[in-house]
Structure 1
Amino acid sequence: MTQTADYYTNNPLIHKDRCLSQSPSEWVRSFSCEDLKPLIVCRGPIRKEAMDVYEEMGISHYGILLSEKDSIVYTNALAPELRQLTDPNRVHRVPDYTGASKEERVERIHQIIQIAIDNGYDSIFAGYGFMAEDEEFVAAIEKAGLKFIGPCAATQANAGKKDEAKRTALSVNVSVTPGIDNVTARTLLKKYPSRDKLLALVQAEGLACDKAVLADQKLPLEDLADQILYASYEKGIDLFSIEELCAQVQAEVAEMFKKYPQSRVRLKAIGGGGGKGQRILGAALLTVKNADDKLIQQAAADAPGLVREILNEVKANGVGDNKNVLIELNIEQTRHNEIQLLGNGQWCISLGGRDCSLQMHEQKLLEVSSTQEGLLAAIANAKTAGRKAEVKALESDLKVLQRMEEEAARFGEAVGLDSASTFECIVDRDRHYFMEVNTRIQVEHRVTELCYSLKFTNPKDKKDFFVVDSLVEAMALLAQHKERLPKPERIVRFNAAVEARLNATDASLSPHAGGMIRYWSKPIQDEIRDDQGISLVNPDTGLFMKYKVAGAYDSNIALLITHGEERQNSFEYLSQIIRSTTLRGTDLATNLEFHYGLVNWFIGNNVNAKPTTRFVVPYLTLVGMLKEEANKLDPVFAFVQMKKHYAKLITEQYADQPEQLGSALKAMSEVLDRKGTLIIRPMERLLEDPHLLSGWLSVHHKNFRIDNGKVVWLRNPLGVLNDTYEYLHMSHRPHKPAAEIIWDHDNELLQRSLRFSRALREKFGLQRDEYFKLNEILHNEEPPAGFSAAEWEQIRSSHFGYEAGLELLGMLFLVGINAKFWDLRVEDDLEITIPEHLTDPDLQARMKKILVPPPATKADEIVAVCGGMYYAQEAPGMPAFVAEGMHFEKGQPLYIIEVMKMFNKITAPFSGTIDKILIQGGDGTIVQKGQPLFKVTPDEKFVEVDPKEIERAKRERTGEYLKAVL
């Protein structure tokens, strides 16, 4: 049934009845998609989402493609969607989705199309995987008479390839990043530098080029070279070698370094994306004001190796592959913004933006909506609060967003966009540059869906309309009805939305494949969890079914998404979602705690802050410094020493009353003993996990100050302790195991303490943040008006008794101070100041090891740093990095490990000699974390630290902390 716009505004998270055939409106019924028969050839959360959306649309004849790679390589990693789709005739298996080589990719394309034809499917949906923007794949689908649920092949050609997209952008006056988009054409011209030689090449190789193009004397040589290259791709031959391409890239990079001093250069494969096929070089030149030619050539010399890595990563190193690589200026202060687009080939509409700057290794982590409505609300709030610099910064963002939306829609119309795509930009303060178009739906599309719905109105009757709140649904509608769909109106649902990517990574955000999920708590209110069905319980028993996190593809496990009336709400909801999520398993590591710390860092600083793509690594380094400092403390020892401190104070207090000393000491000891676990348990949790500590320090940074080296509380530590239990999800919940929550006797004491403190504060008419005033009042021995001496003494005694021992919480603030935690800060204009020391590569590498210590190993072994596919050389045909008997230096590449679609070059942690290569099976062998790879003789012997010395140092450091809190 068609609903009004108000219905969707007031019920934004419900799934509406998408079955348009049930509408009383003939016009609406004409857009039904029940007869669409799609084959879903993607994986991950988008596959499950597509299944759900299609069923809600009344589409019953759909099927899914299932790669056998997960289940063959990693046992117990079967697609959880099979719990929902139990008809085996609608599940179609292939060895892999895209194949490992060009030949396998072509074979797989034909196999998928044949599966669709043989099983009665009329369309193919490829989600947000790389197949979704594979021009060759889409063209083959169309040639076979099938529909592609996504941009057509022509749009893929004009917008999907990064070089073509950049040229199109220039032609329609869209701002682009400075750089070179035709290095392959320049490589060809280096080899055949004249028109005559190029034409002779066409004749010699028998290339099918347009005769009119060849005869056009006005056509620039670089454009002619491009046309000849396209013909070579069609024929499947190479006109130059990879070595020649690498040499040309190296020369172009050197020129870029000269043209843009103190800058780095980014290399991007034209068919990459999601962090794949991108490398940055030139870090050594960033701090050199006037680099000489020798330094520039040294920096550019890294280009050939990186080009090979890129081509290998995107599988474009085969004969006849398009090996073009973009060479772009790397904008250092970069914010990554993108605009959601939707079109039908005639009209194109922008659906707001998303800030995806919080990323690492080009992999997005936290994605935040950026809408004009949300920015206007934020501007109004900042004006009310009198934050002028923030207002100016937000107004600048609003202008940039408006320009990006306008340019994005113009670009979409220029390329005839006929489905969903994303217009990606980099933003540098008040400027933006077009980066690329992803001709597919994005992982973070839900962020846009929560901000806007689409209202399609009958051109002949404004009261006749239907509303679409799913981009997956919109893509199906476009595939089925394309030109008939009128341009929709966007309807605001929420001003803000945010998405966290839950990935299989360790505390340093390095991939961690192979873990087993054994339990996952249910989603809470206002949480959208896209987890490809992992949380679906066994339909017969109602029990959670274990799931193996495979490493054959990417690291994503789920998307955690929520919304808010403003960004602050959305971040607070996300914090609550993560806090309420319980995820247990075997050998399981995720970035859940990282997200909790990060989200609360922004809540504690300013959710409207403007992080750049450089933020996460320095932030992680800072978290590592927290961990390094926290490792030096022993909270149990601190508690024992605190008891001795109180005993000393009481002994001094009762020095002239020896008959009362014993009972006073006993009473104080009992009071403190009752608080032991109340205080120590949350402290141990925070000191153990630096991500949790980062978030806690961020939200509590206004609750203390340091006076003369001493911690002074600005808020009652009882309230902070209570909030800490809530923050750690350890507050009292009777249905939870005792190990996960505050213990009953501790909760009883805490609640009684809070009631007393609240009553006392209200008695004196004080606010929550006026704790220091209450302390001043209570330190007066003379009773204030209205209190007898006996009453006042009882009140003071109870107050100090309830709060005794809470001083230890102040040690957490000192950890932050000693780690220089608050040096990473948000300024009034929303820019983030990153201290220089956090950008030091050596410190970053050291802190990575603090966050995740290397696997235990013998002194004469080098072991795998993580599980994945082992490769001995940089690319096929290249020599191995090391050989038996070879000496290696610290930092020298030893091997590559492919895990979750990324190629990670692992370098030597020390210098030594390879005695024996232990890995058997060669390239592509699966290795486990900690598996011995090489027997070695280190140049220097390792000296183990005495555990007793470590314990002594911890107690000494803890003693220093106690001096500042007691």
Structure 2
Amino acid sequence: MFDTVLVANRGEIAVRVIRSLQGLGIRSVAVYSDADADARHVREAHTAVRIGPAEAAKSYLSIPAIVQAALDTGAQAVHPGYGFLAENAEFARACAEAGLVFIGPPVAAIDAMGDKIRAKATVSKAGVPVVPGASDVDIPEGGFAAAAEKVGFPLLLKPSAGGGGKGMRLVTELSELDAAVESARREAKGSFGDDTLLMERFVTTPRHIEIQVLADTHGNVIHLGERECSLQRRHQKIIEEAPSVLLDEATRAKMGASAVEAARSVGYVGAGTVEFIVSATAPDEFFFMEMNTRLQVEHPVTELVTGLDLVEWQVKIAAGDVLTVAQDDVRLDGHAVEARVYAEDPTRGFIPTGGTVLAVHEPSGEGVRVDSWMSEGAVIGSNYDPMLAKVIAWGPDRAAALHRLDLALADTALLGLGTNVAFLRGLLADGDVRDGKLDTGLVDRRLSTLVSEEVPPEFFVAAALDRLLSLQPQGDVVDPWDVPDGWRLGGSGGIDFALKSGSSEVVVRVQGTPANALVSVDGAEPVRVSARRLGDLLEVRHPTGFHRYRHSAGSGRTVWLARDGHSFAIGERERLRSAAGSAGGAGPVTSPMPGTVLVVKAAAGDVVTAGTPLVVVEAMKMEHTITAPIDGVVSELPVRAGQQVALDETVAVVTPQKDEQ
């Protein structure tokens, strides 16, 4: 067994791997970029090594820097986690050349399965069913459109070298193909350094089912059952569970056997996942999609229903141990569901958010597990993937697991940045989700019912009372003239708080003290409310009930409030409004997220129509195209490719064209 292992990753997976290493009595080495100098994985490892600046290409993707860090700290092995270099054959090869054990499959297996085109050909020869399609390898130059029509629409474009939904595009008709290919190639090149694409027939009402496999160096290969990963947005998984309600025992065994054969076909070693696409209307028919030659984000649900620590087995297998778990030993006990918590705004197309974590509260309790890298003071920038944590719940059956997960998410609070927690709770409450009627398009179909920009009035009331509490004089002796009660001749007139959160704006009038106040919102009938602070909790007694908010002061006069999975930044509204841009949507076009300008698709002076692409911004591995809001002329375009832009920074100005006389 190794005595020192370097973890070549960051975030929650680095924290999670370090936890298992500690359980095995193995010394852990963390690596970090300048952006992560005080990150949780750095603090929890036995030692840590700086490997470069914030830019991933110069730090977490720098093979020489990571290998040198392992050698300098006396590590015998490297655990890659997932993402970054986890499926990079050159990294595995560099580790071997340096005398380091790569805790993952052999280079040949990574090569074979890392290229989706080769992977399909390899497993097809082993008798594993594959989805009909074509690729750059066998499509002649200029023949992409003809190949697409032969495969048939709708079809899915996928980067050959990638995973995690990056660069994938759904194309429903021929007219969409060229733009989708351009965008997919650009994102594939940026994410994986390879813009080779393949296209596959898009299976209708598809369900995403994957099988976890384990293989040792002694020829033993088993599967640990399946995970259902059909709840996705932008081809990125959101909620995963084990087992799937779709499969019966016979189908599970058949699919598991296919996964084992796929692993054997490339001499696989370690933990890996074979992903299948299954039609909801024909669950006994399944097709191989790809094999992920690494640990999966959703591995905790398999751990909870099998009782196995997959990271521990990865380490033991890499050290040469025999897999002591036989296929007949594998039992799926109960049900587990995982929800991914992202720094993103579901109301704005899931664009990444960012900021400094002002406060964090993570749930606990029977059957609840949290894999997280969050801590107070953590800075969420635009350099890395926006996943913050995973909240996982186990129960004796699916209904119990879903109930526990919902309660856990309701008790999750990350103040200082926007998250998708409320969206996750809404998705879990969906009737089809509760009934197990899932497919990969469900989120898109339900999106309008799952997201809302409206802020519940109770949050504005709580924010006003929190502000009033901050204004209360302190000390044993209080001058009545210091009491902020809006007093005037004839009695107390109350205080007006003009508040704003997102697109919601209200005026809250408070009469009295926080302990006994009459409160009205936008002139509505006043109601009796009381509030007090208890540490990081704000307790509010309101006619709608007794609520506890987690609260933290933001910048300026902004307060962050979280309750039941909802989290809002509520600040005082600007008293004066600019008239600029009020005519027909004219004026500045701003970036909806902090990030990097990838492409400038227009020029100053261009005549554009509403919806014309102006700028493509990338943040946290996600592209967002910013378009013209109106017909007009691009009068200003102050950004260039490669430039960093902040949230709401102006990237263009579009003005209406003057009518010619």
TM-score by length of 2: 0.77
Summarize the Cα distance change of 1:347–1:608 in structure 2 as closer, same or farther, 3 Å threshold. Answer: farther
Q: Which amino acid aligns with 1:476?
A: V
Structure 2 distance, partners of 1:440, 1:48, is 17
Measured after TM superposition, the shift of residue 98 of structure 1 is 5.4
Q: Alpha carbons of 1:164 and 1:746: their partners in 2 closer, same or farther (altered >3 Å)?
A: closer
User: Are the aligned partners of 2:161 and 2:192 in contact in 1 as well (CA < 8 Å)?
Assistant: no
Alignment-mate amino acid for residue 78 of structure 1: D
Match of 1:275 in 2: 165
Tell me by how many angstroms 1:552 deviates.
0.7
Quote the offset at 1:857 in angstroms: 7.5
Distance 1:547 1:300, change over 3 A: closer
Match of 2:211 among 339, 342, 345: 339
Q: Over aligned residue pairs, what C-alpha RMSD do you find?
A: 3.5
Amino acid at match of 2:428: V
Alignment partner of 1:882 is 2:609: no
Corresponding position of 2:493: none
Please tell me whether residue 593 in structure 1 is matched to residue 422 in structure 2: yes
Alignment of 1:195-210 (within 5 A): none
Deviation at 1:518, TM superposition (A): 1.4
Percent of aligned pairs with the same amino acid: 29
* Aligned partner (choices 570, 573, 577) of residue 404 of structure 2: 573
Query: In the alignment, which residue of structure 1 is the partner of 2:318?
Result: 479
Q: Name the structure 1 match of 2:101.
A: 147
Aligned to 2:448: 621
- Tell me by how many angstroms 1:484 deviates: 7.1
- Give the CA deviation at 1:304: 4.4
> 1:504 corresponds to which residue?
343
User: Is the partner of 1:866 in helix, strand or coil?
Assistant: coil
Alignment equivalent of 1:896, drawn from 592, 607, 616: 616
Provide the secondary structure at the position in 1 that maps to 2:161.
Answer: strand
Check conservation: 1:269, 1:278, Cα contact below 8 A: yes
- Equivalent residue number for residue 26 of structure 2: 59
Q: Contact conserved, 2:275 with 2:289, CA < 8 A, in 1?
A: yes
Residue of structure 2 equivalent to 1:405: 256
Instruction: Say which SS state the counterpart of residue 607 (structure 1) adopts.
Output: helix
Q: Does 1:437 align with 2:288?
A: no
Gaps of 5+ in 2: 462-500, 506-528, 548-577
Q: How many residues align?
A: 555
Q: Secondary structure of 2:652's partner?
A: strand
Tell me what 2:239 maps to. 366
The answer to whether residue 391 in structure 2 is matched with residue 560 in structure 1 is yes
Give the C-alpha shift of residue 497 in structure 1: 0.2
Distance 2:651 2:39 in 1: 32
CA distances 1:842-865 after superposition (whole Å, capped 9, x unpaired): xxxxxxxxxxxxx99833211112
For residue 272 of structure 1, give the secondary structure of its aligned residue in structure 2: coil
* Counterparts in 2 of 1:447 and 1:476: CA distance versus 1, 3 Å: same
Report the residue type matching 2:439 in the other structure: T
Shift in Å, 1:365? 0.8
> Cα–Cα, structure 1 residues 490 and 484, in superposed 2: closer, same or farther, change >3 Å?
closer
Residue identity in the other structure for 1:574: L
- Read off the aligned partner of 2:628 and give its amino acid letter: A
Q: Max radius of gyration: which structure? A: 1
Q: Displacement of 1:82 after TM fit?
A: 2.9
Partner of 1:265: 155
Conserved 8 A contact 1:36-1:123: no
For the residues of structure 2 that align with 1:177 and 1:332, how far apart are their CA atoms?
A: 12
Unaligned runs of 5+ in 1: 1-32, 72-76, 188-243, 286-295, 318-322, 376-393, 454-468, 536-544, 637-684, 690-729, 749-854, 874-879, 942-966
1:497 to 1:924, Cα distance in 2 relative to 1, 3 A: same
Letter in 1 for 2:137: T
Aligned to 2:491: none
2:185 corresponds in structure 1 to 308
Task: Letter of the 1:252 partner, please give it.
Answer: A
Deviations 1:265-319 (A, max 9, x none): 21111111111122222x2x4xxxxxxxxxx4x34444542453244333435xx
Task: Report the CA distance shift for 1:186/1:598 in structure 2 as closer, same or farther (over 3 A).
Answer: closer
Alpha-carbon deviation of 1:747?
A: 6.3
Aligned pairs (5 A) from 1:518-917? 518-525=358-365, 526-532=367-373, 534-535=374-375, 545-585=376-416, 588-602=417-431, 607-623=434-450, 739-743=538-542, 858=581, 859-871=586-598, 873=599, 880-917=600-637
SS at match of 2:344: coil
Q: 1:895 to 1:120 in 2, by over 3 A?
A: same
What is the one-letter code of the residue matched to 2:10? R
SS at match of 2:589: strand
* Structure-2 separation of matches of 1:80 and 1:435: 35
Once the two structures are superposed, residues 417-475 of structure 1 have per-residue CA deviations (whole angstroms, 9 ceiling, x without a partner) of 1101111011102221110000000001001000103xxxxxxxxxxxxxxx2111100
Decide whether the 8 Å contact of 1:334 with 1:426 is kept in 2. Answer: yes
Q: Per-residue deviation at 1:494?
A: 3.1
The alpha-carbon distance between structure 1 residues 269 and 117, as it changes in their structure 2 partners (threshold 3 A), is same
Q: 1:631 to 1:938 in 2, by over 3 A?
A: farther
For 1:516, the equivalent position in structure 2 comes to: 356
Counting helix residues as a fraction of each chain, which structure ranks higher?
1
Q: Which has the higher strand share?
A: 2
User: Letter of the aligned partner of 1:504 in structure 2?
Assistant: A
Provide TM-score, normalisation by structure 1: 0.53
- 1:494 counterpart residue number: 333
8 Å CA contact retained: 1:266, 1:330: yes
Distance apart, 1:370 and its partner CA: 1.6
- Measured after TM superposition, the shift of residue 407 of structure 1 is 0.7
> How far apart, CA to CA, are the structure 2 residues paired with 1:185 and 1:120?
46
In structure 2, C-alpha distance between the alignment counterparts of 1:434 and 1:614, rounded to whole Å: 19
CA distance in 1, matches of 2:433, 2:350: 27
Using the alignment, how far apart are the partners of 2:579 and 2:342 within structure 1?
Answer: 24
CA contact (8 A) 2:166 2:188 kept: no
The yes-or-no answer on 1:95 pairing with 2:53 is yes
Query: 2-side partners of 1:940 and 1:739: how far apart?
Result: 53
1:357 pairs with 2:230: yes
